[in-house]
């Protein structure tokens, strides 16, 4: 087995320290969600491909893919039809950082920073 060293070791250590999920209760619906602490870049790129350049749709697609809703996965259609808009915005803030907004140009959206 090859030992990881250098920048790969540092990145792996960072990922290992930040994997897992945290529990978030949605303000409007009261549903409890498992939100990932680590944004998988591959999943984010997939969500962007699905959204075809629409950042809001990409964020919603990523939320649908990455978040567990009381142990269940929801589709992007479920998210659009069943989850109140305020709860979706809350989840987008939880996943991408509180300052994430589809109106922000050149901001931190989608970079995985957490709000402090």
Question: What is the pLDDT at residue 108?
Answer: 43
- Give the burial class of 77: count Cβ atoms within 10 A of its Cβ; 0-12 exposed, 13-18 middle, 19 or more buried: exposed
pLDDT in tens, 27-73: 999 999 999 998 888 989 999 998 998 999 999 999 999 999 999 99
Domain count, the chain: 1
Q: Does 59 reside within a domain?
A: yes
Q: Does 116 reside within a domain?
A: no
Domain residues for 28?
A: 20-96
From residue 3, give the alpha-carbon distance in Å to each of 8, 16, 19. Answer: 10, 15, 20
As a whole number of angstroms, the distance between CA 83 and CA 5 comes to 44
Q: Does 66 reside within a domain?
A: yes
Question: What is the pLDDT at residue 99?
Answer: 57
Angle at CA 62, nearest 5°, toward 102 and 104?
Answer: 15
Q: Does 103 reside within a domain?
A: no
Question: What is the pLDDT at residue 91?
Answer: 95
As a whole number of angstroms, the distance between CA 39 and CA 109 comes to 12
As a whole number of angstroms, the distance between CA 90 and CA 29 comes to 11
Rg (CA), the chain: 15
Predicted structure pTM score: 0.73
Question: What is the pLDDT at residue 100?
Answer: 52
Q: Which helix (H) or strand (E) holds 24?
A: strand 21-25
pLDDT > 50? residue 90: yes
């Amino acid at each position: 087995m090859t030992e990881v060293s250098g920048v790969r070791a540092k990145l792996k250590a960072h990922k290992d320290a930040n994997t897992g999920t945290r529990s978030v209760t949605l303000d409007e619906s009261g549903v409890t969600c498992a939100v990932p602490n680590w944004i998988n870049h591959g999943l984010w790129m997939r969500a962007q491909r699905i959204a075809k350049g629409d950042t809001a749709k990409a964020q919603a697609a990523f939320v649908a893919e990455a978040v567990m809703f009381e142990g269940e996965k929801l589709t992007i259609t479920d998210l659009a039809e069943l989850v109140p808009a305020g709860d979706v915005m809350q989840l987008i803030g939880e996943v991408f950082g509180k300052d994430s907004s589809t109106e922000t140009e050149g901001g931190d959206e989608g970079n995985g920073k957490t709000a402090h």
